[in-house]
Structure 1
Amino acid sequence: MKFQKCRTSREIITALNKSWHPDHFVCLKCDNPISGSTFNERDGSPICSDCFLQYFSEICASCKKPIKGKIIKALGQTWHEDHFVCGGPCMKPMSGESFYERDGKPYCKEDFENIFAAKCKGCEKPISDKAIVALEAKWHKDCFKCKACKEPITANTFAVEDNQPLCTSCA
């Protein structure tokens, strides 16, 4: 926005490739004169910062308030940068991080696995890779061990005692 004097000794504002008298350089929405050096534009008309924020700013998916600063676009929504956080207990910032999605919320890998992944019957930790399915449960490969000798069972056949696997040697 540039100010200069016109022939009638009034100031002229040059903005948006037009010239305006200051009292005619008004907000498209509230019709109040725009007096500061900052304003916004919509369809070639000036809009004061307050009206732009109220009527045209993106709304944060978390707090439902207009976003003034940096916008995060993820999961089909917009977020304040500091509101785009893990939906799990860690609540760490997810901006610029890879994440998992569940029910419209971002999750870090650790929280996603702890909350949603199947748990190993042997160690009860989340299974994030291939699992052995046996005895109506899922197991990490290294956790599927013989009840007697405690060695991992790698053969396709095994025996069962008290709903626990036994290798063919110990059976």
Structure 2
Amino acid sequence: MTMDVNSQGGKGTATPGGANQECAGCGKHIKERFLLKALDLYWHEDCLKCGCCDCRLGEVGSTLYTKANLILCKRDYLRLFGNTGYCAACAKVIPAFEMVMRARNNVYHLECFACQQCNHR
């Protein structure tokens, strides 16, 4: 899912469509100049937060994830629901939220990705 940041174009509560918008998070009218649109709903910037870590989703990117009635940031979505894999070099588990290196169909821990001839990373 992606988020849109919209400007209301003034101090009033009117949005580009002319209607007053209610925040899906707190239920109050959105009077601020900027609002977020996510999941076909409007949100105050402070109200659209990750259900796990409480980070403001508008500050961490333009993508959010939903599953099991939760709104999540990418990191928490992967931590909770991501697939784990195995490193092609050491055969140990790679957590879903960890950065990896890919080469063709193989996936490696960053520290395991090295030249097979000289072992240089």
TM-score (norm 2): 0.50
SS in 2 for 1:92: coil
Residues 1:75 and 1:110: Cα distance change in structure 2 (over 3 Å): same
SS in 2 for 1:112: helix
Residues 1:94 and 1:40: Cα distance change in structure 2 (over 3 Å): closer
Residue number in structure 1 paired with 2:40: 76
Deviations 1:19-70 (A, max 9, x none): xxxxxxxxxxxxxxxxxxx9889xxxxxxxxxxxxxx521111122222213
Residue number in structure 2 paired with 1:107: 72
Structure number with greater Rg is 1
The answer as to whether partners of 2:13 and 2:20 remain within 8 angstroms in 1 is no
Structure 2 segments unaligned to the other structure (5+ residues): 1-10, 87-91, 110-121
Match for 1:75: what amino acid? L
Aligned pair count reads 85
Residue number in structure 2 paired with 1:29: none
Structure 1 segments unaligned to the other structure (5+ residues): 1-37, 42-55, 132-139, 144-171
Residues 1:99 and 1:107: Cα distance change in structure 2 (over 3 Å): farther
SS in 1 for 2:85: coil
Return the offset for 1:130.
9.4
Higher RCO (Cα < 8 Å, 6 or more apart): 2
Residues 1:123 and 1:63: Cα distance change in structure 2 (over 3 Å): same
Identity %: 25
SS in 1 for 2:65: strand
SS in 2 for 1:81: coil
How do residues 61-140 of structure 1 correspond to structure 2 at under 5 angstroms? 61-69=24-32, 70-87=34-51, 89-95=52-58, 97-103=61-67, 106-120=71-85, 122-123=92-93, 125-126=95-96
The answer as to whether partners of 1:118 and 1:127 remain within 8 angstroms in 2 is no
The answer as to whether partners of 1:58 and 1:66 remain within 8 angstroms in 2 is yes
Separation in 2, partners of 1:39, 1:124: 50
How do residues 7-26 of structure 1 correspond to structure 2 at under 5 angstroms? none
1:142 paired residue among 98, 104, 108? 108
Match for 1:86: what amino acid? C
